[in-house]
Structure 1
Amino acid sequence: MGNRQSQTDVILIGAGIMSATLGVLLKELAPDWNITVFEKLSKAGEESSNEWNNAGTGHAALCELNYTTEKPDGSIDISKAISVNEQFQVSLQFWSYLVRNNLIEKPEDFIMPLPHMSMVQGEENIAFLKKRFEALSNNPLFEGMEFSEDPKILEQWMPLIMEDRDHNDKIAATKIDHGTDVNFGALTRMLFEHLQKDDTVTVNYNHLVEDVKRTEDGLWEVKVRDTKGNILAYHTAKFVFLGGGGGSLHLLQKSGIPEGKRIGGFPVSGLFMVCNNPDVVEQHHAKVYGKAKVGAPPMSVPHLDTRFIDNKKSLLFGPFAGFSPKFLKTGSMFDLITSVKPDNIVTMLAAGAKNFPLTKYLIQQVMLSKEQRMEELREFIPNAKSEDWDLLVAGQRVQVIKDTETGGKGTLQFGTELVTAEDGSIAALLGASPGASTAVQVMLNLLERCFPEQMKEWEPKIKEMVPSYGMSLMENPDLLQEVKEEANKTLHLDQNDNSTSDILQRA
């Protein structure tokens, strides 16, 4: 074991979709900056970004019912849905720029056009879905959304779900054709392949970051262990991004910045059922989201998903929530307990007291047998056979716990959280869904917070990459139409030109 020291401009910790996105943005904006990446696993996109560790939904609030809530007066609040949709449009614009400029190739290897549907049962839920449809369908961001309670139409939209269903079942659905399935693992690998072609970028796999601390001259020193050779090294940089998924919380705490105080994390694991029968897989072509059960976290909204992974069509159902004290799938059983610090223990205890129903729900989910999981699947596919489905362990997500004005002490945050130091020298990305889908917008927010002095100089280039930057697409329908047409063409998302077989043959 030996010690080495080196200095760079930017250090990115974690080789997932967030670090990949930030790295590519910075290379376009500041091509002469040196970037060093540290990843503890052997290649990029192997944790939360991996295609088997997330649902692969291009989150645009087209089908996810948890982004629209019913107000006390019965009206539907669509503000979150608008925000999530606009953020995904930013991602589409950036990916389109990358393909157009040959920075990445073959978009069909990471994104596919796929209808997004919401499906509910029972009169009360149908009434909610109809009000949601009426609130969204006149908005330009949700143009083309359809609603139906007609069994014949629903049989056309989702034949597998309607087959052998009891005719007395009250069921309704919305459908919008311009949804997407996104392979974030493949996209992450593409972005890192592009970055590694640049002499100013160094990507180090099998390197575990053990500590982050401020030096006397204002730089950040990162203590890194090469796990292959057990070699310890110290690297300094002007800016550090903590993008290691659930592992970011511990590093944020070690940084000692005030903004990281009184923040805790609660890990939730996920399981999916994967169909092993090709005949069943071929009968479904959509992402169909239902309603979360009472007490379930938003990430546990049940959905039946067509997926495209390794140029093959797959069918997944889930997720079933579970509990593990690990903050990463490849983490430690001590992650949760070691994240409890003197400054966040009151926050953590308050969260535990507030979220007893969630704890009870997670325990129930962990105890489910395969047959009990099949019964939940049969709410979507009435004739589902146990032998056609296998269980897959998906990724770990760490939900942020912090004190908020609206929620008080120990509020569980279901979403993506960006924490930055006051001087912008270090930033951490915490949280879960919509996560990867909004990576570009989140990283643009990071640039605004951490590099305010450069933003005026960078703005023209940012607008070249993301034409809608600084504007609301909902309030500029002509621009929305323009960027959507460009993205559809460049990313091969035009419905008229894309049958599943054609896309898979091209891929």
Structure 2
Amino acid sequence: MIVSESVDVALIGGGVMSATLGALLKELQPDWKIVVFERLGDVAQESSNAWNNAGTGHAALCELNYMPNPDDPSKAVGINERFQVSRQLWSSFIDRGILDSADTFINSTPHMTFVQGEKDVEYLRKRYETLREQPLFAGIEYSEDSRVINQWAPLLMQKRRKGEPFAATRVPAGTDVDFGAITRQLFDHLKANGAELRLNHEVKKLSKKKDGTWDVRYRHRVGGAPGTVNARFVFVGAGGWAIKLLQSAKIPEIKGYGVFPIGGQFLKTSNPDIVKKHQAKVYSQAAVGAPPMSVPHLDTRMVDGEASLMFGPFATFSPKFLKTGRWIDIVQQVRFSNILSMLKVGATNLSLVRYLVSELMKGRAKKVDSLREFMPTADGADWELIQAGQRAQVMKGGKLQFGTEVVASADGSIAGLLGASPGASTTVSIMTDLLAKCFPEHIGDWESTLRELIPSHGSSLNDDPARAAEITGTSAEKLGIRA
């Protein structure tokens, strides 16, 4: 085996996770040599692509699955804190010329929740009463008045049947985010500052050497030429592909993990007469057995300067871990260390199985019927069905986990990210946590720069109302969004 070169950092995967980590390291340690491997012909083609996700700046403003107990706001507050960290870094990156103007990737879009039926109305009322006391949710509004909700989102109320109770919450400070644009801009910055981006390069295996470094073995997908790079640190930000590479690295920390792939589809319209009547992201309750990523929502999207609406997602199933993955992905992950856990997940999540079967049996007409539960006046002729990205939900300890999880070796020389939502919205805090875990010998020297980039770094905004108002107001001004 011939090792052609040595680098400080190897980033595997051309998505927002690798882009954010690379951009942070470039600010913290500009002399380090960074190489990025992406198996496709461009970056941001999988989960980070604008049409492979809902673009929600996940801040728990509207997502009910982040607060199943209406009296306990802890998880919702935690996710909002993490999104505020992302907003601060994006603001700093604009000041430093790392990101382009804010309107190229983020736009104000109110976040709403809409529910029907006495049980859900009561739940939403309690949730509102709890969240309104939290500084980071100070702007939340609540109404059961059809006239008010009609002002917030007319498409929800037109020709709706009377009689059934309904309610809605609204937070004007919500956002729509194009994570694909952020990813491309960060990689452009990395390339301009000495990092090497190798497209069409598929990493095949990771091997640890006696000196603690890693040989990253890859193959060029055009022509098939192999190669190896030696790296002091490896980050695997490859979506569902991450488990395969972490297993190839044979780190003990990956034992017991498995992933379950779930795909999705959206109905989309760019009809300007419809789009102009709805400026919000409106979430509701998930169906029984549905994973959190399948919570139905009607969203305003802004991609490449064009506004559109998306409704969904509708769950699909493929054994692939990526949209461009392989049909044998789900089988290739099986090990003696995780097979019992995976079988237990299947046996204890029959409601999820039933939900997926019911979703797979839905034809286009049934999907339009689901849209009409949100938008009674919907005409199927105005909407097209698009395929969204693949998500790989974490299986561990016999349980199906929803969220993101960093798996790192004990010595911190390699780390990877598993899981999905809230994912991209909380990328920055995930990466700052990773820096502390994997680079303990450097983090002390980096703290001052991190606080310059992220003023709230190391503190809780929700515990300090005045500080929360100051920092969220500053980032809102720099990003050109509602405070």
TM-score, length basis structure 2:
0.99
In 2, the alpha carbon distance for the partners of 1:444 and 1:218 equals: 23
In 1, the alpha carbon distance for the partners of 2:270 and 2:136 equals: 36
Stretches (4+) displaced over 4 A:
none
Partner of 2:34: 35
Judge which range, 240-249 or 208-217, deviates more. Answer: 208-217
Partner of 2:192: 197
In 1, the alpha carbon distance for the partners of 2:330 and 2:393 equals: 12
Alignment size in residue pairs: 483
1:163 is aligned to 2:158: yes
Contact 2:270–2:307 (Cα < 8 Å) also in 1: no
1:78 is aligned to 2:73: yes
In 1, the alpha carbon distance for the partners of 2:354 and 2:68 equals: 23
Q: Tell me the percent identity.
A: 50
What CA deviation, in whole Å up to 9, does each residue of 1:391-417 have, x standing for no partner? Answer: 0000000000011xxxxxx11110001
Contact 2:285–2:295 (Cα < 8 Å) also in 1: yes
Partner of 2:285: 291
In 2, the alpha carbon distance for the partners of 1:245 and 1:164 equals: 42
Q: CA deviation at 1:339?
A: 0.6
Q: CA deviation at 1:486?
A: 1.4
Contact 2:300–2:307 (Cα < 8 Å) also in 1: yes
In 2, the alpha carbon distance for the partners of 1:465 and 1:144 equals: 26
Secondary structure at the residue paired with 2:424?
A: helix
Q: 1:105 aligns with which of 71, 93, 100?
A: 100
Q: CA deviation at 1:277?
A: 2.4
Q: 1:423 aligns with which of 407, 411, 434?
A: 411
Contact 2:39–2:200 (Cα < 8 Å) also in 1: yes
Spell out the pairing of 1:308-323 with structure 2 (5 A cutoff). Answer: 308-323=302-317
Partner of 2:241: 247
Partner of 1:219: 213
Spell out the pairing of 1:338-377 with structure 2 (5 A cutoff). Answer: 338-377=332-371
Q: CA deviation at 1:481?
A: 1.5
Partner of 1:498: none
1:238 is aligned to 2:232: yes
Unaligned runs of 5+ in 1: 404-409, 496-507
Partner of 1:493: 481
In 2, the alpha carbon distance for the partners of 1:90 and 1:419 equals: 21
Contact 1:3–1:232 (Cα < 8 Å) also in 2: no
What CA deviation, in whole Å up to 9, does each residue of 1:106-154 have, x standing for no partner? Answer: 1101000110000000011000000000000111100111100011111
In 2, the alpha carbon distance for the partners of 1:451 and 1:33 equals: 13
Q: CA deviation at 1:171?
A: 1.2
Spell out the pairing of 1:398-437 with structure 2 (5 A cutoff). Answer: 398-403=392-397, 410-437=398-425
In 2, the alpha carbon distance for the partners of 1:451 and 1:460 equals: 15
Which amino acid in the other structure matches residue 81 of structure 1? A
What CA deviation, in whole Å up to 9, does each residue of 1:295-334 have, x standing for no partner? Answer: 1000000000000011000000000111110000000000
What CA deviation, in whole Å up to 9, does each residue of 1:162-198 have, x standing for no partner? Answer: 0111122321100010000000001100110111101
Secondary structure at the residue paired with 1:196?
A: helix
In 2, the alpha carbon distance for the partners of 1:237 and 1:390 equals: 45
What CA deviation, in whole Å up to 9, does each residue of 1:224-243 have, x standing for no partner? Answer: 11111211001111100000
Secondary structure at the residue paired with 1:218?
A: coil
What CA deviation, in whole Å up to 9, does each residue of 1:461-495 have, x standing for no partner? Answer: 00000111110101122221121121111111147
Partner of 1:25: 24
Partner of 2:13: 14
Partner of 1:153: 148
Unaligned runs of 5+ in 2: none
- RMSD of aligned C-alpha atoms? 1.1
Partner of 1:68: 67
1:457 is aligned to 2:456: no
Partner of 2:275: 281
TM-score, length basis structure 1:
0.94
Q: 1:469 aligns with which of 457, 460, 473?
A: 457
Q: CA deviation at 1:4?
A: 5.6
Partner of 1:180: 175
Contact 2:3–2:230 (Cα < 8 Å) also in 1: no
Which amino acid in the other structure matches residue 417 of structure 1? E
Secondary structure at the residue paired with 1:378?
A: helix
In 1, the alpha carbon distance for the partners of 2:382 and 2:14 equals: 34
1:443 is aligned to 2:443: no
Q: CA deviation at 1:105?
A: 1.5
Secondary structure at the residue paired with 1:464?
A: helix
Partner of 1:501: none
Judge which range, 126-135 or 278-287, deviates more. Answer: 278-287
